[in-house]
Structure 1
Amino acid sequence: MQKWILSLLLVAVFLLENVFSFSFPADFLWKGSIAVPHFLIIVLFFIAIYYHSLQAVYFSLLFGFLFDVVNTELIGIYLFLYPVLTYLVINAMRILQVNVFIVSVLVLVGVTALEYAVYGLLLLLGQVDLTPGIFFEKRILATLVLNGIFLLLFCVPLKKYFLRLAEAREEK
């Protein structure tokens, strides 16, 4: 039952992210900015940290593929990056303390890494013409603000929910 609830939560976050992308203009934070919601990868990171790391990697593969199919022209970018970044977050948390501040900073670093990896790949393929400075100024800062707001709103509820799921899983 919990796997289904977790799957439904991820589908809901995936849909929320897409609805948010289409409902709000990209520059709603400030003029000329491009704020990209990465709510799904944030939830996947929370699953990896607070619930079950292997299951988070599997979900990352599945939803990375789904994200590629629905949102990108090039299949494989998110299919590769979601599980790799989830794996890196899992390994980073083995060294770092698990508290809300450290987790939030690590999640925002993961979002930044995702943005830069996609930007680098698209730059190599010649599909983007932004300079790194303009990319940072117009896209990274706005994206970090947007996803930081999402973290402020949902960090504690996500943590409590996944810890509760982990406890229920251990009791079985």
Structure 2
Amino acid sequence: MNRIPARILLPIIMGLVFILENTVSFYFARTLFYGETRFIPHFIIVMLVMMVVYLPRNQVMIYALVLGLVYDIYNIGIIGIYFALFPVVVYISQKLLHYLQGTFIMILLVSIFGVAISEFGAYLIFSSMKSVSIAFLPYVTTRLTTTLLFNIAYFLIIYFPFTLLLKRWKRETKGLSSTHVKL
């Protein structure tokens, strides 16, 4: 049986993750956490950081730009916030993982750091535009901590299957680039 190439499967999975992230944020946030405590799923950022380990940075940047633009259009209505934040997170993650070993723990820590950068950056942008009315300390205690914990749980669930797909993509790409056609 023919397997779907990873280069085709990866964009499909990222699209499904985009839909999953929106579904979780819109429908389950209210039912899981009542009152002031909320979480914000950043599944795309977690997966972009994992992609940095196996894919070329330029390709991950393209994913970050496209997904950031779609995220802004679909969720925010202001183009530019996540369109800028996603590539910044990818760039910082790539630099950190270049100097750190790409072990499970390091990728987890860099992923959570990327989520924190994205959350804090969005908070700064929205608070400067006066669209957020929550003060910084309540924001950290009620939203940022639960967001980080929720995204850690997502990382633990998705890490091994997604890493297998990325390793397959790397193997397939290596095989394509090493084949030469002779006429």
**Which residue, out of 130, 144, 147, partners 2:148?**
144
Distance in 2 (alpha carbons) for counterparts of 1:76 and 1:32 = 28
**Per-residue deviation, 1:145:** 1.2
**Per-residue deviation, 1:8:** 0.7
The share of aligned pairs that are identical, in percent, is 24
> In the alignment, which residue of structure 1 is the partner of 2:82?
78
Q: How many residues align?
A: 172
RMSD between aligned residues: 1.4
Which has more radius of gyration? 2
Unaligned runs of 5+ in 2: 177-183
Q: Is the 8 A contact 2:14 2:44 kept in 1?
A: yes
Q: How does 1:8-19 map to 2 (within 5 A)?
A: 8-19=12-23
Distance in 2 (alpha carbons) for counterparts of 1:121 and 1:63 = 19
Q: Is the 8 A contact 2:49 2:110 kept in 1?
A: no
**Per-residue deviation, 1:54:** 1.4
> In the alignment, which residue of structure 2 is the partner of 1:135?
139
> In the alignment, which residue of structure 1 is the partner of 2:180?
none
Q: Is the 8 A contact 2:40 2:147 kept in 1?
A: yes
**Per-residue deviation, 1:26:** 3.9
Q: Is the 8 A contact 1:29 1:142 kept in 2?
A: no
Distance in 1 (alpha carbons) for counterparts of 2:32 and 2:175 = 45
Distance in 2 (alpha carbons) for counterparts of 1:48 and 1:21 = 25
After superposition, the C-alpha distances for 1:61-120 in whole angstroms (9 at most, x for unaligned) are: 001000000000321100011011101111111100110001001100100110000000
After superposition, the C-alpha distances for 1:103-149 in whole angstroms (9 at most, x for unaligned) are: 00110010011000000011111111211110100110110111111
Q: How does 1:35-46 map to 2 (within 5 A)?
A: 35-46=39-50
Confirm whether residue 48 of structure 1 aligns to residue 57 of structure 2.
no
The two structures have a TM-score, normalised by structure 1, of 0.94
> In the alignment, which residue of structure 2 is the partner of 1:158?
162
Could you tell me which amino acid in structure 1 is paired with residue 98 of structure 2? R
User: Secondary structure of 2:84's partner?
Assistant: helix
Unaligned runs of 5+ in 1: none
Does 42-51 or 54-63 show the bigger shift?
42-51
The two structures have a TM-score, normalised by structure 2, of 0.89
> In the alignment, which residue of structure 1 is the partner of 2:68?
64
User: Secondary structure of 2:82's partner?
Assistant: helix
